[in-house]
Amino acid sequence: MPHDHAWQKSSYCGQGDSCVHVAADATGTIKLTESSDPTGAIVRTTPEAFSALIRTTKRPAGAEPA
């Protein structure tokens, strides 16, 4: 795992290598990577976009957007 960020493992992660890790850098940029290849692709996004992603994934299937 890259050491320049305080990566946190998803609380929904079970056992194994298929986990999402999240970190924020000094500028506030949110970064996501997966534990099976933590030095591979890192997705970068804004806090607002990340919040929208979390809200969307928590919304029940078929529910209207808030």
What's the pLDDT tens digit per position in 4-56? 568 888 777 776 667 888 999 899 999 998 877 767 788 999 999 999 988 88
| Cβ contact 36:55 at 8 Å | no
Which pair of structure tokens corresponds to residue 58? Answer: 């928590």
pTM over 0.85: no
Q: Partners of 32 in the beta sheet?
A: 22, 43
State which amino acid sits at residue 19.
C
Question: Which residue bears the tokens 């933590």?
Answer: 38
